[in-house]
Copies of this chain bind each other. A is one copy, B any other.
Amino acid sequence: MDFTLTPTLDAHDTRILAELQADARLSMAELGRRVHLSQPAVTERVKKLEAAGVITGYRATVNLTRLGYGIRGIIRVGRADYDLVVKLVQETPECVNAYNVTGEDSWILEIAVIDVPHLDAVLAKFCILTETATSIILNPAREHQPMLPPQRADVKPPVRKALSA
C-alpha cells in the first residue's frame, strides 16, 4: 500500500475493510483469524489504513427511533449564503448529515426530530433563508452500505447513441 491519493489496496486490505465495517469492535487477533493473517500483520495493515486516511474512525451506530426521534427527514435548501447555512447546521443537533451540492438546491440536510412540532421548529430555522422542500423518510431501505474499493469491471457503460463527427 502506497500513500498516493488512492492507496493500492490488495485482497487482504479489502477483507479487513469489509470485516471492520461489519464489526468495528473485532480484536486484531480475531480479525487476523478471519482474514487469514497473523495478528501482528493485521495490526500493521489496519494502522496503515488509518494512517492513509482510508479508515477514518470507528463509530457505534444507534437506532434513532429507539433514541426517541420519531421522524427522520430530508430537507432540500435552495440557494443561500454558504456561511449562514454552515452556522445554522452547527446550531442544529437534529441535523445528522449536511451536504453542499450542485443543482437547484444548494444543500441537502438529513435530520431526526421527535415529532411534528419538533419538525416544525427545525424547519423554521431553514425556511427563512430560502425555499426549502422537506421529505419524510418512510423506510430507510439501505443504510451505511459497507463500501469496498470500486471494481472497474463492475461498470457497465450504457448503450447510447452519441453525435458522431
Contact = CB atoms under 8 A, between A and B. Distances in A.
Interface of A: 5-7, 9, 17, 20-25, 52-69, 73-74, 86, 89-90, 93-103, 105, 108, 112-114, 117-118, 120-121, 124, 133-150, 152, 154-158, 160
Q: In the assembly, how many copies of this chain are there?
A: 2
A138 B53 contact: no
Contacts of A22: 59
The A interface, classified by DSSP as helix, strand, loop or mixed, is: mixed
Contacts of A138: 99-102
Contact of A96 (B67, B113, B147): B147
13 contacts: A5-B66, A9-B67, A25-B58, A55-B63, A67-B149, A67-B150, A89-B141, A93-B147, A95-B145, A103-B136, A108-B135, A114-B155, A117-B155
A101 B118 CA distance: 19
A147 B56 CA distance: 18
